[in-house]
Structure 1
Amino acid sequence: MATMTATNVRDVGPKDIQTFNNNAPTRIDLGNIADVPYYVEKRYVRAVDNGDEFQYEEVPVEEFYDDDKEDTLDALIRNVKDQQRESQVVTTSASATVPRGSLTTQPEAVDDFVRNFLVRMSMKKTMQQFQIEWHNLSSAGRIKTNECGYLPDVVKHNEELSEKMRLLESEVDRYRKSAEKAREEFVKMKKERDYHRQHHNRIAQEKNNLVTFVKRLKSHLSTFEPQLDELKSKYDGAMREKMVYKLEKEKLQNELNALKLGSSTTLQNSTEGESGPTQIKLRELRLKEEKKKQAMTNEQRRLTGSTDSTHESNPRDSDFPMDTGNNPYLNRFAEDAFHRSTLTLAKEIEAHDGPISCAAIHPRKHVAVTVSDDRSWKMWAIPEGDMIMKGEGHSDWVSGIDFHPSGNKMATCSGDTTIKIWDFSQKKCVHTFTNHLLPVWSVNFHSCGDFIASASQDKTVRLWDLNSLRCRTVMRGHQDSVHSAELLMFSNIILSSSVDKTLMLWDARTGLAEHTFIGHVNPCNQATFNLRGDTVASCDSKGIVKLWDVRTVKSIVTLDFGPYSANSVSFHPTGQLLTAASSDRTIKLYNIASEQLIPLSSHHDEVQYVKFDLKGQYMISTGRDRTLRVWS
């Protein structure tokens, strides 16, 4: 350790002492005073860098929470003093091991002590007078240095003790304030701890009560599960029998009508030109049949709960085609799986100025039509990407579109609550349906071309007649907005999906719901049939896609494409491939036979719609990135 001892700078004699008055310095002769050497002393003190000087003890957390005894102020002060004493002992023991150099202390002279005192007290006049008197007495030899030349050590020691005492008193006051503040904080934290303890205990009790209640409910519900399963199986069997009886009834009714028609024609020919009682009886029979038909119509109106005039007879109303169960498109395809290698991006078309919500494919030509939030629709040649035609007329975003089976007409729906019919030969909108109360989400043509099914936010599905230009049936049953409505090809069955998390099958002729598919836990965005009509695919807002068996009304496959929303689904005509449009900017391809999932990174934003053409040659997709993409 580096040390420094006192060194003699120079010997200062009595003749070197000067006094100062107000005008100029005066030299005083102190020759009679014995020569006394004066020393200037320097001291360097370096702190001992010893790692054992301070000891840190970890305070257990439990002491602050489990000790309920409050520490008094005296105890806190006593703890602080003990810690200081321990630190001093450690410092002393550490410093004792290090050798130090010896320092020689020169006692302070009496006159220097007085001068320093006067300077410290700013007594300049007294200091000047003292200088004069001191040096006069020194020159006269009246001051003896051996008696009053040096200050006794006890005075200096007392002064140092007084200064140290003042410092210690100030430290004690500071520690007392700190201890009081710490005590207040400690009391505050204890109160907060007690509050949170009570709150935790209360929550824990409530949780235990809820757990017990849930267990009782589960045990109670488990007793009803066998009964529910039995009732559900009975209900499904009854609904199947009802459908079978209904079909048989319709078949027998058609045969009866044919027999009545043949018998009436025979009677009419045999009694032609006669005005006897036979002709009168035939007229009465016809009137009874007409009254009976009218009564059946009124009964259907009562069952559907319709309050509008949609069931009023109109001579221009279209007749529903008979369900023969024959689909001519089924004979076009072999039962081969659809391979990923044959599906690649063929064309990207910048179609609209806003997000594209839906698209439709012409039934016979390589033509596609897109609708957008920019309130317009555009027709494109596929796969060249040339625009053929454009239409505007809606006052709000256009949400859905579908081609007439002949390909000469088209229907669009919009957020302005209207459905417009466009005729390509006349190049204009030929009619607008306005019965919906809220935005319309989708439209779909019947395979006969005389009816349109629409789904709306007003919780209804409506069937429109293109010949009488009126709403034939209003189907009410969903509890929330209906997002899609699709007619099964060559059939009178309508499939709808809704925000109420259900799918429903409707009979378009009566407007009655035949089946309800329950299984989604999120709002359904769309549902569609495969070409055979025996399987339904649906998607919801969390990316869950389900495949349903129409005959058993049960889910057969559940696919999780989440967490992003699945906005649209479409079957390949062979029924072996399912595609889904996702909000994560990809198209999900799922091979049903091999259970293989193949995502396609396609759009730059959410994919809104996907659709295969009826021949299975290509697929189109649209998205919020305003593009139409063709995959082949």
Structure 2
Amino acid sequence: MTTSKQQDSITGSFNLGFTSIPAENDESFQYEDVIEEDNSLTEEEEDLEATLLAIKQRSDGIQPAASKTRNTITRPGVCPPPESVEDYLRNFLLKMGMTKTLDCFQTEWNEMLQKGLLNTELVGAVADVYTQNHRLDSELANVHRERDEYMSIASSTAETLTSLQKARDFHRTQHKRVLQEKNRLIEDMRKLKIQCGRYEPAVRQITERYQSIFRQKMLVSLERDKALAQVHRLQATLHNMDLSERRQSLNQDTREARCKTKTPSKKTAEFSGSVKHVARDSKFPVGRRGNNLPPSMKERPMDSHVPNKAKADGFQLRSTIKAHSQPISCLARHPSKCVVASSSDDRLWKLWGLPRGDLVASGEGHTEWLSGVSFHPDETKLGTTGGDASVRIWDLSKGQLVLSLQGHSGVTWCCSFHSCGDFVASCSIDCTIKVWDLQSERCRSTLRDHRGSVNSVEFLGSGSNTLLSSSADKTLRLWDARTSLCSQTIRGHSSPLNAATVSSSSSTSYSTIASCDSSGIVMLWDTRNLAAPSVVVETGPRPSNQVAFDPWGKMLAVAGEDGSARVIDLSTNQVAAVLRHDDAVQSVTFDHTGAYLLSGALDGQIYVWS
């Protein structure tokens, strides 16, 4: 009797077929006592083939080779041996799950073998056609299974192929578009190269012409300076000779007068007339300390106009003036009217009425961009500086050029008028400051101690002959305009200075200097002690371009490169307001009453804050 494990092994080892077994009556069978034998199998006999071999050896002594031959798995292309009928029946019963019938068959078969009633030679074998059919059925099932697997693989492969074709078409389209853009760019580059090739001779010619003109200009400027120096020396020599002749003539006339009557002679009268002759050069006024306010503001009560902290905090944009088509370089307030002057890179200066922004006057004459603008103390003239290295004086009533002062060898940045109106000081990128006499229309002195571009210059108050200058050499300097000597050098900034100004308020007995540099540092200096700054305010890291006091010295406005104008409350020395712009702020100023703050930006607009 086989176990379930042996049955499974038999199912996989034998070919099964269908047959009919006639029913027998168990009552007519004569049972005999069966001697119990030790039929236990060892572990080696657990295998199906070993089990069958042991059964055959015990029953009829069949050789193990024959059992192995019957149970050998057939290979394709090899004719299998014929299968015995008993094996066929066992396989059939196992295949149909008829285990009870199989047990009865095994029992009866073994009894007949034990009694010797069974002749194995008469049993025979199953025809080969059944074995072939079974083998063909197995092969057909394998073929169907493989076909299904191949169809599944083919389906997934077809989907992958479709997606790859779509990706290929997409990338092919993108590749064609990129090729078209590449060809278009190549064509544009070819056209640009052709155009550049056409422009290169003209650019080369213009460059050579510019260099030659610049060299000629420098040579002419050097020769002019030499000639002017010679003229000045000759004039000084003639003046000294004239003085000596006059002294000799005076001594001679005095001696003759002593000898003669008291009636003056004709020669004496002529000499007296020559002594009274007024020289063409202007004279500097005697320096004095006192009220620094403009004359139009001295009688105005100050308390009603002084802005308080709340007003410093509350600046709001009132209006904007589209003043120029190019960036604004400088703003200057009118001494006594609600008018502001502006200069720009478009080579124009303009006057605007506040607060509506009405155009009052304009002028054009500079050959390069304008860098600075300043009002004359008599309020009828205007001074401008620019990239053409000149200082020009304009008549505001007519909008015409009155005087052009040439002498700097580089760009002039700004100018400042003396309170007497006879002198104007200008600073330049050539590291010099020149003081011009408007009566004699010549340069009276040149101040040369700075080691970098002089970016601002300003006279200190009404009646003062002292000049304040700031330079890219990181220093401030105070100059005596009469002697052309530097009276004091102020150090404290660690970056190049962009601008400096002095307060015009008379509320205190001393003045305050404000300076700003390219690192955004603003410093306030007490003129009584210039060894160190009294206040340091950081507005950086972007540069601060300009500083301006309000008329009463209570607030300080700072123009920033970061697109903002800051208002510093000088009572607390803190930034009270930050006024945002769309672009960098180049210049700031208050109107003459302090009611409006004006800022000029790179976008060509004047912002009016109140």
Q: TM-score range by the shorter chain?
A: 0.5 to 0.7
> For the Cα contact (< 8 Å) 1:358–1:371, is it kept in 2?
yes
- Whole-angstrom distance in 1 between the partners of 2:454 and 2:544: 16
Show CA shifts across 1:435-474 (max 9, x none).
1111111111111211111111111111111111111110
Q: Counterpart of 2:518?
A: 541
Q: CA 1:521–1:11 in 2, change beyond 3 Å: closer, same or farther? A: same
Contact 2:315–2:577 (Cα < 8 Å) also in 1: no
1:553 aligns with: 530
Partner SS state of residue 588, structure 2: strand
One-letter identity of the residue aligned with 2:287: D
Residue 318 of structure 1 pairs with residue 290 of structure 2: no
- Which residue of the other structure, out of 301, 305, 309, is the alignment partner of 1:339? 309
CA distances 1:448-504 after superposition (whole Å, capped 9, x unpaired): 211111111111111111111111110111111111000123211110001111101
Matches of 2:386 and 2:290 in 1, distance apart? 33
Alignment correspondent of 1:526? 499
- Quote the Cα distance in structure 2 between the aligned partners of 1:610 and 1:277: 66
Map of 1:350 onto structure 2: 322
Matches within 5 A, 1:15-94: 17=74, 20=77, 27=79, 30=82
**What aligned pairs does 1:102-181 form with structure 2 within 5 A after superposition?**
none
Conserved in 2, the CA contact under 8 Å of 1:586 and 1:599?
no
Residues 527-606 of structure 1 aligned to structure 2 (within 5 Å): 527-531=500-504, 532=506, 534-554=511-531, 555-606=533-584
Distance 2:341 2:319 in 1: 15
Tell me, in whole angstroms, the C-alpha distance in 1 between the residues paired with 2:286 and 2:571. Answer: 33
The match for 1:508 is 481
Task: For 2:440 and 2:321, locate their aligned partners in 1 and report how far apart those are by CA, in whole Å.
Answer: 38
Cα 1:429–1:337 change in 2 (3 A) is closer
Report the CA distance shift for 1:280/1:481 in structure 2 as closer, same or farther (over 3 A).
same
Please give the TM-score of this superposition, normalised by the length of structure 2. Answer: 0.54
Q: Which residue of the partner structure matches residue 471 of structure 1?
A: 443
Instruction: Give the AA of the match of 1:499.
Output: A
SS at structure 2 position matched to 1:611: strand
Compute the TM-score of the two structures, normalised by the length of structure 1: 0.53
Give the superposition deviation at 1:505: 0.6
Larger Rg: 2
2:47 aligns with none
What is the aligned partner in structure 2 of residue 447 from structure 1?
A: 419
The 2-side partners of 1:564 and 1:19 are apart by 92
Change (3 A) 1:34 1:463: farther
Matched, 1:11 2:14: yes
1:418 maps onto 2:390 in alignment: yes
CA RMSD of aligned residues (A): 3.9
For 2:343 and 2:546, locate their aligned partners in 1 and report how far apart those are by CA, in whole Å: 15
Alpha-carbon distance in structure 2 between the residues aligned to 1:273 and 1:629: 78
Q: Which residue of 2 aligns with 1:145?
A: none
Contact in 2 for aligned 1:506/1:514 (Cα 8 Å)? yes
The DSSP-based 3-state class of the residue aligned with 2:534 is strand
Q: Which amino acid aligns with 2:300?
A: R
Give the Å deviation of 1:598: 1.0
Shift of 1:27: 4.8
Cα deviation digits, residues 171-226 of structure 1 (max 9, x gap): xxxxxxxxxxxxxxxxxxxxxxxxxxxxxxxxxxxxxxxxxxxxxxxxxxxxxxxx
What are the superposed Cα offsets for residues 374-433 of structure 1, whole Å, 9 maximum, x if unpaired? 222222111111223332222322110011112221111112212222223343223222
* Contact 1:564 1:583 survives alignment (8 Å): yes
* Aligned-partner residue type, residue 11 of structure 1: F
Identity over aligned pairs, percent: 39
1:519 deviates by 0.9
Cα contact 1:14–1:30 (8 A) shared by 2: no
Answer whether contact 1:457 1:482 (CA < 8 A) is retained: yes
The offset of 1:628, in angstroms, is 0.4
Instruction: Answer whether contact 2:338 2:592 (CA < 8 A) is retained.
Output: no
Distance in 2 (CA, whole Å) between partners of 1:362 and 1:556 is 30
Query: Offset of 1:358 from its aligned partner?
Result: 0.6
Number of the residue aligned with 1:437: 409
CA pair 278-429 structure 1, distance change in 2 beyond 3 A? closer
Once the 2 structures are TM-superposed, how far is the Cα of residue 19 of structure 1 from its aligned partner? Answer: 5.8
Alignment CA distance shift 1:362-1:334 (3 Å): closer
Compute the displacement of 1:276 (Å). 8.7
Letter in 2 for 1:553: L
Count, aligned residues: 371
1:306 corresponding residue in structure 2 = none
CA deviation profile, 1:565-602 (whole Å, cap 9, x unmatched): 22111112222222212222222222222334212223
Indicate yes or no: 2:585 matched with 1:615: no
Q: Could you list the runs of 5+ residues in structure 1 that have no partner in the other structure?
A: 21-25, 39-138, 140-263, 291-313
Q: Post-superposition shift, 1:372?
A: 1.4
- Is contact 2:13-2:73 (8 Å) kept? no
Would you say the 8 A contact 1:603–1:625 is kept in 2? no
Change (3 A) 1:541 1:33: farther
Instruction: Give how far 1:278 is off.
Output: 10
Counterpart of 1:235 in structure 2 is none
The answer to whether the 8 A contact 2:343-2:372 is kept is yes
